[in-house]
Structure 1
Amino acid sequence: MACGYCKRSEECNQINGTCLNGCSRGYKGKYCNTTCHDGYFGENCVYKCNDTCKECNRMNGSCGNICHPGFKGEFCHEVCDLNWYGEGCNKSCGECTVDSGSCHHINGSCVNGCDAGYHGNKCDKICEFGFYGPNCKSACSPFCKVSRDCHHVTGTCNYGCKAGVQGNDCLLVQDSENVSQIKFYGILSTLCATLLIIGIYALYKIKKRMILSRTSTGTSYSVDDSVIPQTDSVALIKKDDQPIELNHNNQNTSKLDISTNYDTKL
Structure 2
Amino acid sequence: MLLLGFLIASTAFLSEACRIGYYGPDCNQRCSPYCGWGGSCDVNTGHCTFDCLPGHTGLDCRNRCPFNCGRSGNCDKFLSYCLEGCKTGYKGSTCDFYCPFNCGGDGSCVQNTGSCPQGCKAGYKGDSCYSSCPWNCGGNGSCAQHTGSCLQGCQAGYTGSSCLLTCPYGCGGDGSCNQSSGSCLQGCKYGYSGPQCSWKFK
TM-score (norm 2): 0.44
Q: Which has the larger radius of gyration?
A: 1
Which structure carries more relative contact order (alpha carbon 8 Å, separation 6+)? Answer: 2
More helix by share: 1
TM-score by length of 1: 0.36
